[in-house]
Structure 1
Amino acid sequence: MASYSGRGVHGQVVQRLGARIVGGHWAEGDVLDVRALGDELDVSLTVMRESLKVLAGKGLIDARQKRGTYVRPRSAWNLLDADVIRWRMAGGDGERLMRDLTDVRSVVEPAAAHRAALRRSDADLTALDAALAAMERARGDLAAEADADAAFHRALLGATGNELLARFDLILEPGLRERDRLVHAHGDADDPVPSHRRVLDAVRDRDAPRAELAMLDLLKKKKKKKNAAASRPPGD
């Protein structure tokens, strides 16, 4: 499910309640006082109910007669949901999440690069070229670099011609942005363009094995930088 956060009043309520649940404010099985929460957030009962439906769709809560609305166990959460990923990062579970995302990327993205080299179209190359050019222009601008990085990986997934792989950007993008934030915050960022260009060149040449290896090298490099930044004490 795509991110719901920020979409008007409903989005704000979803954001606040979802962050509390994922952050551990309520434990598994805790019953939510819907009316009291509505009063606290200064929203109508209708808004509360609609917001709770969204959270139920993410697996965070459920409702039963005679029991009310309660927090579901973590095993029921949709951990691939973009909002749940974002809330985990903000709620103190970021290290575990980043480790898991790194593992997922190491499985998915080299294989995606391999397939992209075999299946890419001219339109895909145009999108990849544009993302790489944006990356070059963005040097020193954290937000712009993160946008360009995300655009490159999104275009690469799209170039596989596989609709399911293409939607993996919903999972990977929050992790990409958090990794970029960690690395840049500690001054450990280096030039990302050469490693991304090697992937793109291999995809352009339709050299699938080289594209896969280039992506593996890119991910290893980023993992090393991310781990170095995350291991430093705050303020270093």
Structure 2
Amino acid sequence: MAEYDGRGVHGHTVEVIGRRILTGEIAEGATIDGGALESELGISRTVVREAFRVLGAKGLVTARQKRGTYVRPRADWNLLDADILRWQFAGRSDVAFFSNLQEIRGIVEPAGARLAAERRTDEDLAALDAALAAMVAAGDDPEAMTRADLAFHRALLAAAHNELLERMEVVIEVGLSVRDRHMHGSGAAEDSVPVHRSVLAAVRRGSPARAEREMRALLTRAGDDLSHLRRTRRGA
């Protein structure tokens, strides 16, 4: 009996095919052999068709008569889809992915911190306080630190009270979770609690310019950690 990690047979099938497409194991333009998937995964034709339907909605595959189901060009993929983001980052440790994430964070999070300083509520501050406390409590536990770090950045975007900006959490969250696991697991990251505390202090004081400045300082620290990781891997 196959194990599906709580996703169910349909979810597992979508996950398998999606990861293979995103890693290039199934190339753009390639026709996907549904019959081979049925045999390999021990699933029915109905399950494969449903998986193709889900992946089609994400822009990854399409079907044509006489050609079957094939992978669409990358330009057609919904790259902001949460699953596609997760499949891109999962298992990837190359610096290019981390650098792309760093650029997105540099665009989104300073603006989010500025707005949070202007609009935060007592509930927002309580959520940020709880996340920071969790970071302190995490110590050297990389999984706990990652969860707390994500909670902090999620709470910060929520405190901006901008629905469209808050939707960017899917980009920040998926990429940051993988980055954190690599950074905290490698020993390359310095203690990030002080810089997070400085951001929170500026938000609490209602100082937009300082909150933006402190967030840029936090991102600079993250960039330094990334550079250290790059040098370490080159040395290895």
With the length of structure 2 as denominator, give the TM-score of the two structures: 0.92
One-letter amino acid of the counterpart of residue 201, structure 2:
D
Asked if structure 1 preserves the Cα contact closer than 8 Å seen for 2:114 and 2:211, the reply is yes
**Deviation sequence 1:6-43 (CA, Å, 0-9, x none):** 52111211111111111111222111121221221111
How far apart are 1:86 and its partner, in Å?
A: 2.5
Q: Which residue of 2 aligns with 1:55?
A: 55
Q: Secondary structure at the match of 1:31?
A: coil
Give the drift of 1:227: 2.1
CA shift for structure 1 position 133: 0.5
Aligned residues: 232
Instruction: Write out aligned runs for 1:40-119 (5 A).
Output: 40-90=40-90, 92=92, 94-119=94-119
Residues 178-197 of structure 1, C-alpha deviations (whole Å, 9 max, x = no match): 22122223212222111001
Distance 2:235 2:202 in 1: 40
Q: Which runs of 4+ in 1 moved over 6 A?
A: none
Question: Is 2:236 the counterpart of 1:230?
Answer: no
* Residue matched to 2:213: 213
Q: Indicate yes or no: 2:183 matched with 1:183.
A: yes
Q: Does 1:29 align with 2:32?
A: no
Once the two structures are overlaid, the 10-residue window that deviates more, 102-111 or 75-84, is 75-84
User: Which region of structure 1 is more displaced relative to structure 2, 67-76 or 222-231?
Assistant: 222-231
Structure 1, residues 149-202: CA drift from partner, whole Å, max 9, x if none?
000000000011111211211111121122212222321222211100111111
Query: In the alignment, residue 188 of structure 1 is paired with which amino acid?
Result: A
What letter corresponds to residue 106 of structure 1 in structure 2? G
Q: Which residue of 1 aligns with 2:198?
A: 198
Gaps of 5+ in 2: none
How far does residue 59 in structure 1 lie from its aligned partner after superposition? 1.3
The Cα offsets for residues 128-148 of structure 1, whole Å up to 9 and x where unpaired, read as 010001001001111000000
Of all paired residues, the percent bearing the same amino acid is 51
Q: Distance in 2 between matches of 1:204 and 1:67?
A: 59
- Tell me, in whole angstroms, the C-alpha distance in 1 between the residues paired with 2:18 and 2:6: 12
Mapped to 1, the partners of 2:18 and 2:192 lie a distance apart of 34
Q: Is the 8 A contact 1:22 1:91 kept in 2?
A: no
| Aligned counterparts of 1:194 and 1:151: Cα–Cα separation in 2 | 16
Which one is further off, 140-149 or 190-199?
A: 190-199
Give the unaligned 5+ runs of structure 1: none
Equivalent residues of 1:111, 1:212 under 8 A apart = yes
- What residue identity is the alignment partner of 1:10? H
Please state how far the C-alpha of 1:92 moved relative to its aligned partner.
4.9
1:9 matches 2:20: no
Indicate the RMSD between aligned Cα atoms, in angstroms. Answer: 1.8
Contact 1:18–1:84 (8 Å) recurs in 2: yes
Partner of 1:144: helix, strand, or coil? helix
AA partner of residue 221 (structure 1): R
Over 3 Å counting, the alpha-carbon distance change for 1:34 and 1:45 in structure 2 is same
- 2:157 alignment partner in structure 1: 157
